[in-house]
């Protein structure tokens, strides 16, 4: 009997106008959004490749260790096509330096070149699914019970060999039978667009992720089907049911996300980053004073009157590359850096302590927002898709954590190999090649003197940086990892299904069929 009712509802749904409208809506919107997302992804991959090449070149071209700055370029995940998450809120590259810990990536924020264009770039597949599928589910489910009552078919059906519970199960099965194909169709369409695109290669794990996404979407859809049926079972007429359903829809999809953001921002106040920066600036000032104090002390101890760098390249982040001139300068720097580097590192740590506090506040705010947003199944769904596609805030924070850990590794590599104490830290020119002051003074011929001191970087080979630790993402995308991140939320969504199912059955058992 359940099969019979399910089949009947399936046929009736197929024949209804809303089915055609829903289908056409998917047919138009899904290809459009996926195409936009795919373009966006391909553009990000292109930028990634360019930046990665730049980063590699930078490492290969370094002639002194102080110029070695590993740059980590974030490789875009193919799954971000499905759920962009916050990938477009942050940059894509992190430079590892000794004078600061990386807080957020810098570099390309998004692929939008024209800031004057305000299109819905942030709409991605999962958001469209969240909006479209919930709406379609409600539009199909809102009158599933009221309509049967209004048309008198419920009474007639219940005079047949069917109990209330199987009547309800049949209706639910009929709705699933109608809507699951629509959902599947959306996914197939999206996958088709991705597969025919030669620029995108999906791994087996990615396919697993997509399957998981589909599974979550199906549960999400079930939530809204049950919600619609539940509403249909507690109100008397279809017209009030559609109103209540749409109000719920608006509440869940548009109000809760905004309310949760607003509430979290007003409950947890984060300090302005400008304030953090100004304190950091003070630290840098103090560091500079210490730096010059050391500088002067060593100069005095060495009895250097005139400190001249023949060729000098320096940067704010601690870069120094000298060549040529006499031996005084390298000898001075050879004493300076082992003393300065610990200061630099501890200054970076001090600044990081400030930033970490700040980050902690941001995290607190973000966690609160996520928690408040759990009031809405669509927010829950969004968090699940972000966890599956590893594009959410949690993944991002973990990623930055790994990068900071990697920075420690780089520092360890430098200390272990005594690179800070080596002349190669600041000059590619071998120390023996530098002439002593007296030697230069003894040379009468200006030409000869020039030949001894005029040296240039390009005359020396680049460093072999192949042994510098390379950043490896500790957890590349994997299905168990994604499942792990999404599990509790998926379980919560499932719990909601059970709850709604129970509520729906309970209310329908008492439903007045007249």
Partner 1 sequence: MLQTIELTKRYEDGLLALDALSLEIRPGEIFFLLGANGAGKTTTINLLLNFIEPTSGKALINGIDVMEQPLETKKHVAFVSENVMLYGNFTARQNLDFFARLGGKTHLAKSDYYNVMRRVGLQEEAFERKLKTFSKGMRQKVGLAIAIIKDASNIVMDEPTTGLDPKSAAELMQILLRLRDAGKAILMCTHDLFRAKTVADRVGIMKEGRLVMLRTREEFLQDDLERIYLNYMQEAVL
Rule CB under 8 A: is residue 55 a binding residue for partner 1?
Answer: no
DSSP 8-class letter at 81: G
Cβ-based neighbour number of residue 337 at 10 Å:
22
Backbone angles phi, psi at 410, to 5 degrees: -65, -45
Tell me, residue by residue from 2 to 41, as one string, x for binding to partner 1 by CB under 8 A and - for no binding.
--xx--x--xx--xx-------------------------
Q: Which of 263, 266, 260, 182 is nearest to 224 (CA)?
A: 182
Structure tokens at 249: 């829809």
Backbone angles phi, psi at 312, to 5 degrees: -140, 135
Nearer to partner 1 (CB atom), residue 151 or residue 408: 151
Rule CB under 8 A: is residue 153 a binding residue for partner 1?
Answer: yes
Nearer to partner 1 (CB atom), residue 161 or residue 266: 161
Nearer to partner 1 (CB atom), residue 6 or residue 226: 6
Cβ-based neighbour number of residue 444 at 10 Å:
7
Rule CB under 8 A: is residue 239 a binding residue for partner 1?
Answer: no
Q: Are strands 320-323 and 311-314 parallel, antiparallel or unpaired?
A: antiparallel
Residues 499 and 232: their CA atoms lie apart, in Å, by 16
Query: Among the candidate windows 1-9, 126-134, 294-302, 488-496, which touches partner 1 by CB under 8 A?
Result: 1-9
Rule CB under 8 A: is residue 151 a binding residue for partner 1?
Answer: yes
Near partner 1 in 285-304, by CB under 8 A: none
Rule CB under 8 A: is residue 433 a binding residue for partner 1?
Answer: no
Q: Which of 113, 114, 118, 161 binds partner 1 (CB under 8 A)?
A: 161
Q: Tell me how far the alpha carbon of residue 293 is from its chain's centroid.
A: 43
Q: Is 466 exposed, middle or buried (0-12, 13-18, 19+ CB in 10 A)?
A: exposed
Q: Which of 27, 109, 156, 506 binds partner 1 (CB under 8 A)?
A: 156
Rule CB under 8 A: is residue 345 a binding residue for partner 1?
Answer: no
Q: Is 313 helix (H, G, I), strand (E, B) or coil?
A: strand
Query: Among the candidate windows 29-37, 99-107, 161-169, 190-198, which touches partner 1 by CB under 8 A?
Result: 161-169
Residues 75 and 138: their CA atoms lie apart, in Å, by 38
Structure tokens at 461: 């080979």
Rule CB under 8 A: is residue 195 a binding residue for partner 1?
Answer: no
Rule CB under 8 A: is residue 499 a binding residue for partner 1?
Answer: no
How many residues make contact with partner 1 (CB under 8 A)?
24
Residue 170 CB, nearest approach to partner 1 (Å): 10
Structure tokens at 9: 């509802």
The answer to whether 23 and 182 have CB atoms below 8 angstroms apart is yes
Q: Which of 1, 243, 397, 443 binds partner 1 (CB under 8 A)?
A: 1
Rule CB under 8 A: is residue 177 a binding residue for partner 1?
Answer: no
Q: Which of 427, 399, 31, 380 is nearest to 191 (CA)?
A: 31
Nearer to partner 1 (CB atom), residue 5 or residue 493: 5
Nearer to partner 1 (CB atom), residue 163 or residue 488: 163
Nearer to partner 1 (CB atom), residue 157 or residue 245: 157
Residues 367 and 371: their CA atoms lie apart, in Å, by 6
Structure tokens at 152: 């008198």
The answer to whether 381 and 131 have CB atoms below 8 angstroms apart is no
Nearer to partner 1 (CB atom), residue 375 or residue 513: 513
Residue 156 CB, nearest approach to partner 1 (Å): 6
Residues that bind partner 1 (CB under 8 A): 1, 4-5, 8, 11-12, 15-16, 150-153, 155-163, 512-514
């Amino acid at each position: 009997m359940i099969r019979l009712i399910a089949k009947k509802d399936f046929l009736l749904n197929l024949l209804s106008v809303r089915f055609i409208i829903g289908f056409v809506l998917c047919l138009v919107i899904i290809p459009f959004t996926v195409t936009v997302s795919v373009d966006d992804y391909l553009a990000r991959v292109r930028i990634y490749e360019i930046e990665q090449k730049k980063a590699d070149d930078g490492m290969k071209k370094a002639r002194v260790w102080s110029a070695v700055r590993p740059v980590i370029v974030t490789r875009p995940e193919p799954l971000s096509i499905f759920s962009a998450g916050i990938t477009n809120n942050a940059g894509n590259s992190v430079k590892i330096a000794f004078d600061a810990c990386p807080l957020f990536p810098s570099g390309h924020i998004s692929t939008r070149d024209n800031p004057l264009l305000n299109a819905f770039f942030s709409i991605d597949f999962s958001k469209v699914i969240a909006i479209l599928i919930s709406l379609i589910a409600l539009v199909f489910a809102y009158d599933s019970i009221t309509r049967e009552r209004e048309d008198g078919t419920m009474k007639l059906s219940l005079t047949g060999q069917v109990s209330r519970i199987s009547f309800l199960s049949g209706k639910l099965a009929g709705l699933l039978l109608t809507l699951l194909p629509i959902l599947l169709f959306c996914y197939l369409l999206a996958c088709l667009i991705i597969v025919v695109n030669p620029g995108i290669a999906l791994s087996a794990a990615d396919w697993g992720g997509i399957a998981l996404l589909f599974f979550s979407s199906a549960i999400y859809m079930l939530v809204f089907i049950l919600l619609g049926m539940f509403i249909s079972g507690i109100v008397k007429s279809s017209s009030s049911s559609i109103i209540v359903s749409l109000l719920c829809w608006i509440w869940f999809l548009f109000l809760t996300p905004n309310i949760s953001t607003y509430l979290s921002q007003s409950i947890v106040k984060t300090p302005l980053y400008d304030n953090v920066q100004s304190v950091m600036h003070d630290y840098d000032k103090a560091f500079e004073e210490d730096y010059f104090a050391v500088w002067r002390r060593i100069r005095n101890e060495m009895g250097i009157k005139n400190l001249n760098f023949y060729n000098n390249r320096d940067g704010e982040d601690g870069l120094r590359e000298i060549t040529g001139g006499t031996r005084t300068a390298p000898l001075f720097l050879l004493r300076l850096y082992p003393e300065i580097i610990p200061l630099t590192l501890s200054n970076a740590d001090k600044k990081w302590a400030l930033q970490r506090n700040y980050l902690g506040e941001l995290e607190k705010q973000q966690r609160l927002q996520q928690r408040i947003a759990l009031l809405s199944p669509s927010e829950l769904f969004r968090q699940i898709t972000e966890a599956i596609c590893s594009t959410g805030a949690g993944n991002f924070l973990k990623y930055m954590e790994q990068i900071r850990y990697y920075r420690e590794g780089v520092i360890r590599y430098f200390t272990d190999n005594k690179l800070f104490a080596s002349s190669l830290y600041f000059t590619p020119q071998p120390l023996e090649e530098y002439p002593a002051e007296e030697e230069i003074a003894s040379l009468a011929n200006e030409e000869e003197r020039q030949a001894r001191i005029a040296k240039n970087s390009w005359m020396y080979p680049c460093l072999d940086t192949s042994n510098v630790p390379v950043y490896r993402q500790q957890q590349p995308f994997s299905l168990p990892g994604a499942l792990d991140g999404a599990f509790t939320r998926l379980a919560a969504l499932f719990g909601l299904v059970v709850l709604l199912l129970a509520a729906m059955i309970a209310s329908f058992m008492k439903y007045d069929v007249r």
